[in-house]
Structure 1
Amino acid sequence: MTDLEQRRSRDPSAQDERRTVVVGLLADPDTPAEVAAKLVDTLPGVLGERVDGDTHWDVRTMTHPVTASVQDPEEVLGAVADKTADTDWDIGVYLTDLPMQHGQQPILADLDHDRRVAGLSLPGFGPFLQHHKVRHAIVRLVADLTGTADAGLERGQHHPGRLGRAAAKHLQPVRVVHLDQGRHTRRYVTTRGRGRARLLAGMVRTNQPWRLVVGMRTALAAVLGTSAYLTLTSTTTWVLSTRLATGKLILTLLVAVALMVAWIIGAHHLWERARDPGEREETILYNASTVITLSLGVLTMAAAVYVLTLLGALFFLEPSVLGSSLGRPPTFGDHLVLAWLATGLATIAGALGSGLDSEDAVRRAAYGYRERQRRDEIGEDDEHTESESASSSS
């Protein structure tokens, strides 16, 4: 008999009420809230199929930065328990895009039986099929919290087949850590090697690099304007695009992207420095996430500009005008390489344009909610330290 059935049997008059279990998804803004919104309609059916078909599962969502000033994993779960205590939820599951680690091992989930809450760190699930992996994990955590089965996230060995086998492949390799905190609490962590690589990719995913295209409007305008000018008016660009080798054309764009990424990081103070030796590896992880996020964002911007530039060249450039500079009738391939070179050169101009965007606008474009919040807190701490140093010296 499960824990849920035992509680019903002790209170027969409440059996009808107890057949409804309210599962609350408490989500951070941005990506976690989007994931929760996708789950709210499908999760009740999955819980009924895989956990308890005799129970009516009522899944609700709430978007709230409940752990606004909390970074420590233990404190995060405590803050979630305090928040869900004010609701009518039977079970609370917290979704956050804050990357959390147990030593050097990324954390997937924390589980507290006494307070009937669980927390999931989305970056630990990696960049692909994140919605499906999170759904499987929630189902298994809810099964554990209701006493139906052990969550068994570590390869699914404690689950009946209908719960664990289909999902276990998405969560390997995972192991459990029992926390000595006076509570029935477990933590699921991934390996240091593959797990940290997946964590980094998940951090980039939650940052949503494609938002950089519309988030940095000044840089985008600079790239588009420069590309249009080079494409439509520069005869030097016309001729040069047909003379450069393929390798040089590719290198031109890659160097332009690297310059723009470096400029954005330097102009908007996005590079972090470890404040003590213990933060070194964590700082490397965050800096790598920044570089990859910006690189993918700038490449996405360049791809969009390339398509627009190509369409503009095909529409506005008369074959006779372009052919007079090339000394022969232009081909479609000439338009392709012209748009490529113009985009690469214009991306360099976009680096200068990015300096005109405000630091807040750049951070909103480059990072998710919790990463922006973390960086704001670091900035406030640094300012406070500097003010104390100035006061003591005076």
Structure 2
Amino acid sequence: MTDLEQRQEPRSRGAGRRTQVVGLLADPDTPAEIAAKLVDTLPGVLATQVDDEVTWDVRTMTHPVTASVQDPEEVLGAVADQTARTEWDIGIYLTDLPMQHDEQPILADVDHDRCVAGLSLPGFGPFLQHHKVRNAIVRLVADLAGVSDAGLEHGRHHPIRLGRAAARFLQPVRVLRAGRGRHTRRYVTTPRRGRVRLLAGMVRTNEPWRLVLGMRTALAAVLGTSAYLTLTSTTTWLLATRLAVGKLILTLLVAVALMVAWIIGAHHLWERARDEGEREETTLYNASTVLTLSIGVATMSAAVYLLTLLGSLFFLEPSVLGSTLGHPPTLADHLVLAWLATGLATVAGALGSGLDSEDAVRRAAYGYRERQRRDEIGQDDEDAEDAEDSSS
């Protein structure tokens, strides 16, 4: 019996019951969080949906196994090497690295020979990601254990059971058989709808709401400026009640856009394609950056707006505010005042964001793998510049 056969042979425990060890190898941040949530519930789900005569032992390991690897084939090979060093029967890798096959986003790779699979979380889109990943893992384990085909192309990974027609439309997944490399099956999504879902999934794994607390200097600048404008500026009081609704909305939208542009420029977050082949990939990453920062700044503005509104209602005496407005203040007056103050303060927040370190901004805006990828690109650029300097 070969070493591979010995590793894949089910272990025995108790009165004739077999034990299968399923290892979840996860990147830090979002993948590790999902794996931690699954470790307690997955054994019961596997027993119910795969094989109830097997004792399913689910283990997790957080490890950036693909530290300098981004090619899908090399990723799966690195996972297989890591799994071979453990006591796992089946290894499932969870990564927030977006991967593609000929411009088709990769959902999962399966290698039956080495009994491993890899899941790219962004490919699952932004909604119900945890449930989709759990169902996909169950299907992949059943496939690798020889119980049934994974069937991810039929929407079986989706928490809501879909008919085949609905699966083709809502979950446009195709299966590719073994080609180059050692994977024996690859699940990809369609270039158009799949890439839209991939982009949304990339934003989801970046967790843009972390930007609120991650950029503390910018948040402090927005809060301080908003409080000042709300409590002391009679000009702001008058403008807020006299500006049209369209101008108020435009003020906040422009302020958010300016802050996003300032963050990208001040902290060198905009990528440039180094050759023609990287153009589409670079566009995808830049779009992810813009959307992530836009959602994060909008979330920050919403939080500041609520705090500003509460401060306006509590601190501004009706007689003081009314003497400036020329009429008793209403709730609508407080609403528009807080809105305008938040919009103007967001511009100040852009300046405050420049005081945050580049590392702090990247930690707030990106997940682990995206930060790692950008660090590698930056290092490659520095090495290229050093090589040019030495040659000249």
TM-score by length of 1: 0.93
The aligned counterpart of 1:345 is 344
Quote the Cα distance in structure 2 between the aligned partners of 1:118 and 1:17.
28
The aligned counterpart of 2:313 is 314
The aligned counterpart of 2:76 is 77
Quote the Cα distance in structure 2 between the aligned partners of 1:215 and 1:182.
41
Quote the Cα distance in structure 2 between the aligned partners of 1:101 and 1:71.
10
Instruction: State yes or no: 1:31 paired with 2:34.
Output: no
CA contact (8 A) 2:29 2:367 kept: yes
The aligned counterpart of 1:387 is 386
The aligned counterpart of 2:86 is 87
Q: SS in structure 2 opposite 1:89? A: coil
AA aligned opposite 1:150: D
The aligned counterpart of 1:3 is none
- The structural deviation recorded for 1:42 is 1.2
CA deviations over 1:316-355 (Å, ceiling 9, x no partner): 1001110110011111110000000000000000000000
- The structural deviation recorded for 1:17 is 7.1
Q: SS in structure 2 opposite 1:147? A: coil
Quote the Cα distance in structure 1 between the aligned partners of 2:389 and 2:80.
40
- The structural deviation recorded for 1:180 is 2.5
Q: Percent identity?
A: 81
Are residues 327 and 102 of structure 1, via their aligned partners in 2, closer, same or farther at CA, if it must alter by over 3 Å?
same
- The structural deviation recorded for 1:315 is 0.7
Q: Which is further off, 166-175 or 307-316?
A: 166-175
The aligned counterpart of 1:239 is 238
AA aligned opposite 1:364: R
The aligned counterpart of 1:52 is 51
Quote the Cα distance in structure 2 between the aligned partners of 1:241 and 1:25.
54
Q: Counterparts in 2 of 1:147-296, with a 5 A limit?
A: 147-155=146-154, 172-181=171-180, 183=182, 185-296=184-295
CA contact (8 A) 2:217 2:355 kept: yes
Quote the Cα distance in structure 1 between the aligned partners of 2:237 and 2:184.
66
- The structural deviation recorded for 1:150 is 1.4
Are residues 48 and 241 of structure 1, via their aligned partners in 2, closer, same or farther at CA, if it must alter by over 3 Å?
same
Are residues 85 and 13 of structure 1, via their aligned partners in 2, closer, same or farther at CA, if it must alter by over 3 Å?
closer
Q: Which is further off, 131-140 or 15-24?
A: 15-24
Q: SS in structure 1 opposite 2:372? A: helix
Q: SS in structure 1 opposite 2:374? A: helix
The aligned counterpart of 1:359 is 358
CA contact (8 A) 2:111 2:184 kept: yes
Q: SS in structure 2 opposite 1:66? A: coil
Q: SS in structure 2 opposite 1:80? A: helix
Are residues 11 and 383 of structure 1, via their aligned partners in 2, closer, same or farther at CA, if it must alter by over 3 Å?
closer
Quote the Cα distance in structure 2 between the aligned partners of 1:90 and 1:367.
33
The aligned counterpart of 2:60 is 61
Q: SS in structure 1 opposite 2:153? A: coil
Unpaired runs of at least 5, structure 1: 1-5
Quote the Cα distance in structure 2 between the aligned partners of 1:390 and 1:17.
68
Are residues 29 and 182 of structure 1, via their aligned partners in 2, closer, same or farther at CA, if it must alter by over 3 Å?
closer
AA aligned opposite 1:236: T
**Aligned-residue CA RMSD in angstroms?**
2.3
- The structural deviation recorded for 1:183 is 3.9
Q: SS in structure 1 opposite 2:20? A: strand
CA contact (8 A) 2:26 2:35 kept: yes
Are residues 251 and 56 of structure 1, via their aligned partners in 2, closer, same or farther at CA, if it must alter by over 3 Å?
same
AA aligned opposite 1:241: A
Quote the Cα distance in structure 2 between the aligned partners of 1:22 and 1:256.
52
Unpaired runs of at least 5, structure 2: none
AA aligned opposite 2:195: R
CA contact (8 A) 1:136 1:167 kept: no
AA aligned opposite 1:111: V
Q: Which is further off, 83-92 or 177-186?
A: 177-186
- The structural deviation recorded for 1:35 is 0.7
Quote the Cα distance in structure 2 between the aligned partners of 1:13 and 1:233.
74
Quote the Cα distance in structure 2 between the aligned partners of 1:294 and 1:74.
31
Are residues 380 and 184 of structure 1, via their aligned partners in 2, closer, same or farther at CA, if it must alter by over 3 Å?
closer
AA aligned opposite 1:348: V
Quote the Cα distance in structure 2 between the aligned partners of 1:273 and 1:12.
51
AA aligned opposite 1:110: D
TM-score by length of 2: 0.93
Quote the Cα distance in structure 2 between the aligned partners of 1:278 and 1:307.
46
AA aligned opposite 1:212: L
AA aligned opposite 1:338: L
